[in-house]
Amino acid sequence: MIIYLLSKFLTKSKKQVTNKSHNQGWNFSKAFWVANGVELLERAAYYGVFIVITLYLSRILGFSDAQGATVAGVFSGILYLLPTFAGALSDKIGFRSAMLLAFSLLTLGYLGLATLPAFLEDAGLVTYGSETVFSGLRESSYKFLIIPVMALIIVGGSFIKSVISATVAKETTEANRARGFSIFYAMVNIGAFSGKTIVKPLRVMMGDEGLINLNYFSATMTFLALIGIYLFYKSEKTAGEGKKFIDIWHGFIRVCGNTRLIVLIFIVTGFWMVQHQLYATMPKYVLRLAGEGASPSWYANVNPLVVVLTVGFITQLMRKKTALTSMTVGMFIMPVSAMCMASGNMMGSEPILGMHPVAFMMIVGIVFQGMAEAFISPRFLEYFSKQAPKGEEGLYLGFSHLHSFISSIVGFGLSGLLLEKYCPDPRLFDTHEAWQAAASNAHYIWFYFLAIAAVSAIALIVFGHVVKKIDAKKELQ
């Protein structure tokens, strides 16, 4: 029903502006709006779970900081790697079929996250504990039963990553593509905001058990998206290309052989390594330093809120600038973000506007991070879509997420090591004083990410100058 109302309303709005020549940039198809609607639901499901995935792994299943970060990083990384191949398969089987498969797998996966702890308890594999919901797993291999459950979410999510963005590319024109990706990214962030909002009240009402029951919310969102695609999604432009496997493989080789895109992916990886710390480092960092009363999921919501409020304005502001120029502006905002996040632990414990300094400065840092994302991400997708040959949008845009594969594995892995070194789990210490001594330099974590962001920003400037010279030489030939 949500998808139906959204598509009907926006299709009507589209018809109203079609007759106005100066508003041709808003002329989008029904398939475009339906795809963006289910993207909102999928992002709500994903971010509702992912914002607390490291807490779920540590507090529910007994993983250490390093173990939990590794599992979460590999989960996130593969989720971004597989779209390279899922996008190619989607071009072949059709976007509608790919989305039906994806949302079916996602629904089963989130139900698995919700029911696995109870299954382990009923099977007598764990016992109910007081400090964590299910204790007894820290030294047990049974906690790794989470891997096949997460695999369902990985495979399902990999199709969504490529198909939705490819639908936006195919359902737009040169005149409205930048605006189309701006709308797409706004939907992503509205969904992210919704999913993260539900986490805090669940934890307040249910404690750590809320980390389990949250997954029922996510399963419901993806099931609604499944119904929406089945009932309302139809587009001849995304009916499937019917490529042979050899054609898909040759297309993949062409993508890998595009040096410009590969270099850009590695540069933008620096931005995403810092951005991923909203999920890898921030929840545990804030709860340990600012107290269990802190609301890391709500602080993380500042990011999509800022993006939604600014992405349209920023896109319009930078419309006459190249995609690389817009991205460079965003890259130089990221070191400022990391510095703000570090400064909170250097301000003592005197509240700022009623908040612990760590929490307050974390929010300030996230504001800058959201602004940087609004400059970078829509234009990055636009840049990639323009590099794609006709009929291979799914393949190319799936490959565009390779930066998150690298940044997830490296960024989460680094986060786990830095947390154990500078901000360890208080439950591992006999006294609070011993833990305070071990965590006295917790803010050092953000200095590492500040350096990564600064190096990436400088590298993008160099990349821009090199690309400009190469293009100028080609025009003279």
Instruction: Read off the pLDDT of residues 103-126 as tens digits, 9 standing for 90 and up.
Output: 999 999 999 999 888 777 776 665
Computed over every residue of the chain, the mean pLDDT equals 83
Tens digit of each residue's pLDDT (9 = 90 or more) over 244-282: 556 656 766 777 777 888 888 899 999 999 999 999 999
Whether residue 137 is predicted with pLDDT greater than 60 in this model: the reply is yes
Q: How confident is the model at residue 239 (pLDDT cuts 50, 70, 90)?
A: very low
d(CA 342, CA 413): 19
| Predicted TM-score (pTM) above 0.75 | yes
pLDDT, greater one: 3 or 188 = 188
Please state the separation of Cα 61 from the chain's center in Å: 23
Helix, strand, coil percentages in the chain from 3-state DSSP, rounded to 5: 80, 0, 20
Q: Which two tokens stand for residue 198?
A: 């539900």
- The DSSP call for residue 390 is T
Lowest mean pLDDT among 182-186, 198-202, 236-240, 414-418: 236-240
Report H helices in 293-427. Answer: 296-317, 323-343, 357-387, 393-399, 402-422
pLDDT at 16: 45
d(CA 138, CA 135): 7
Q: How confident is the model at residue 18 (pLDDT cuts 50, 70, 90)?
A: very low
Q: Which of 81-85, 152-156, 308-312, 393-397 has the highest mean pLDDT?
A: 152-156
Q: What are the extents of the domains in the chain?
A: 30-476
Q: Quick one: average pLDDT of 85-102?
A: 82
Measured in degrees and rounded to the nearest 5, phi and psi for residue 212 equal -85, -50
Specify whether the CB–CB gap between 221 and 42 falls below 8 A: yes
pLDDT, greater one: 161 or 365 = 365
CATH hierarchy code of domain 30-476: 1.20.1250.20
Q: Which two tokens stand for residue 343?
A: 């400064």
Q: Which two tokens stand for residue 100?
A: 């039906």
Report angle CA 173, 474, 476 to the nearest 5 degrees: 115
d(CA 178, CA 250): 28
Q: Which two tokens stand for residue 144?
A: 């790794």
pLDDT at 17: 41
Whether residue 363 is predicted with pLDDT greater than 90 in this model: the reply is yes
pLDDT, greater one: 283 or 236 = 283
Q: Which residues contact 260 (CB under 8 A, 6 or more apart)?
A: 387, 467
d(CA 12, CA 34): 13
pLDDT at 22: 45
Query: Around Cβ 285, how many Cβ atoms within 10 Å?
Result: 28
Which three-class secondary structure state does DSSP give residue 19?
coil
d(CA 251, CA 166): 15
Tens digit of each residue's pLDDT (9 = 90 or more) over 399-457: 777 788 899 999 999 999 999 999 999 988 889 999 999 999 999 999 999 999 999 99
Measured in degrees and rounded to the nearest 5, phi and psi for residue 355 equal -115, 150
Whether residue 7 is predicted with pLDDT greater than 60 in this model: the reply is no
pLDDT, greater one: 36 or 396 = 36
Specify whether the CB–CB gap between 43 and 271 falls below 8 A: no
Q: How confident is the model at residue 398 (pLDDT cuts 50, 70, 90)?
A: low
pLDDT at 435: 94
Considering only CA atoms, which of 188, 166, 221, 156 is closest in space to residue 32? 166
